[in-house]
Amino acid sequence: MNIALIGFGVVGQGFVEALHKKSMQLQDEHSFSAQVVAVTTRSRGALYHPDGLDLQALLETGGGPLADYPDTDGLQRDLSTMQIITESNAHVIVELAYSNLETGQPAIDHVKAAFNASKHVVLANKGPVALAFAELNALAAEKGVQFLYEATVMAGTPSLQLAQQAMRGTTIFSVRGILNGTTNYILTRMEAGMPYAAALAESQEKGYAEADPTADVDGWDAAGKVLILAGALFGKTLTFDDMDVQGIAHLMPEDIETAAAAGERYKLIAEATPDGGSVKPVRLPVSNPLAGVGGATNAITLSTDLMGDVTLIGAGAGKLETGFAILSDILLIHDRTK
């Protein structure tokens, strides 16, 4: 399978590292082998080699300029992102550029161009899935290609595969949980006495926060994930205007102390139902499973008819954790197209 990466930041490097580490195992257990044939970035150059790039050399560029990748016969450095999408020999386009939750662009155009070129698409970029889900889903179906986005909600923790595959046959009434690692990390550190700004800086250093962390702290990143869940689980097209969205920036250390004294914790709770969605800080008793979820960890509770409540807890952000989500979707494409 030939893969092209649009974007080569934390998640792209995590994916290449996971693919590199696991290549023998993937070959042995799943008869799966893949080449990364192209990498394209906004400001650090592009690489295309139809026979595949050297993963170790790619990792050694360390997220710096791709000019540092060694020259080899047949290597091209001057293709645009659109040329790589439409003209390369990639079977799968992986859209990893930063999430623009206002317009979804240029990633929406990238995804459409890939579908029109009969290529599968895997995304960690939330913009297109949150803002153009119905249209992209329909186009993928029309073109007979896969449109997968596990990384967009809870990184490699299989929230979407759980709901869409394992829980088929149940009726899901609602999904409710902690969908933003940065804010959960900040709240956890504030409970331990760290000031808000220091906790935010720490979550940025660890690579959890968005390029513009106001998207995290004001609730918009979690709200984007609610839009994705509403589309993917309920076939419901929501917009940000349909939702009550609040963040954590207004929470003071004294609010957190007052809650703790009452045996409660603040959590930024996101919810999607067939009728709508919301994101807001909620005081939960410490006995609630979601209250026990600390750090950058995420969790969702699916409320269903046949299974009652099912809660899934796991990583919601991080380099290898999100890189794994891409790998997991690519393996799903491998299974579905054999």
Q: Catalytic site residues?
A: 225
Shortest spacing between CB 283 and ligand HSE, in angstroms: 21
Element (H, E) at 298: strand 297-304
Contacts of 36 (CB under 8 A, 6+ apart): 3, 4, 5, 16, 19, 52, 53, 55, 58
Nearest to 314 by CA among 328, 304, 335: 328
Residue type for position 12: G
Rounded Cα distance, 54 and 17, in Å: 12
Shortest spacing between CB 80 and ligand HSE, in angstroms: 27
181 lies in the binding site for ligand HSE (CB under 6 A): yes
Shortest spacing between CB 182 and ligand HSE, in angstroms: 3
Applying CB under 6 A, the span of 179-187, 190-198, 237-245, 282-290 interacting with ligand HSE comes to 179-187
Using CB under 6 A, pick the residue from 13, 41, 180, 246 that binds ligand HSE: 180
Applying CB under 6 A, the span of 58-66, 100-108, 176-184, 189-197 interacting with ligand HSE comes to 176-184
For the sheet with 297-304, list strands across it: 244-245, 276-285, 264-273, 172-178, 297-304, 309-315
Q: Is 6 helix (H, G, I), strand (E, B) or coil?
A: strand
Applying CB under 6 A, the span of 58-66, 71-79, 175-183, 302-310 interacting with ligand HSE comes to 175-183
Phi, psi of 18 (to 5 degrees): -65, -45
User: 302 with 190: CB under 8 angstroms?
Assistant: no
Residues constituting the chain: 338
Applying CB under 6 A, the span of 190-198, 203-211, 246-254, 328-336 interacting with ligand HSE comes to 203-211
Burial 305-321 (b: 16+ CB within 10 A, else e): eeeeebebbbbbbbbbb
Closer residue to ligand HSE, CB minimum distance, 25 or 214? 214
Closer residue to ligand HSE, CB minimum distance, 91 or 176? 176
Interaction pattern, residues 204-243, with ligand HSE; x per rule: CB under 6 A: ----xxx-----x----x----------------------
Closer residue to ligand HSE, CB minimum distance, 218 or 221? 221
Count of chain residues binding ligand HSE (CB under 6 A): 10
Closer residue to ligand HSE, CB minimum distance, 66 or 228? 228
> In angstroms, how far apart are the furthest CA atoms of the chain?
67
Q: Please report where in the chains the tokens 């934390």 appear, as a residue.
A: 10
Taking CA atoms, 273 is separated from 170, 255, 308, in Å, by: 15, 29, 15
Helices (H) and strands (E) counted in the chain, each on its own, are 12, 12
182 lies in the binding site for ligand HSE (CB under 6 A): yes
User: 186 with 200: CB under 8 angstroms?
Assistant: yes
Closer residue to ligand HSE, CB minimum distance, 182 or 246? 182
- The DSSP 8-state label assigned to residue 284 in this structure reads E
Shortest spacing between CB 69 and ligand HSE, in angstroms: 27
Shortest spacing between CB 203 and ligand HSE, in angstroms: 7
What residues are paired with 2 via a beta bridge? 35
Closer residue to ligand HSE, CB minimum distance, 88 or 180? 180
Footprint (CB under 6 A) of ligand HSE, residues 269-328: 316-317
Closer residue to ligand HSE, CB minimum distance, 69 or 185? 185
329 lies in the binding site for ligand HSE (CB under 6 A): no
The residues of the shown chain that bind ligand HSE, judged by CB under 6 A, are 180-182, 208-210, 216, 221, 316-317
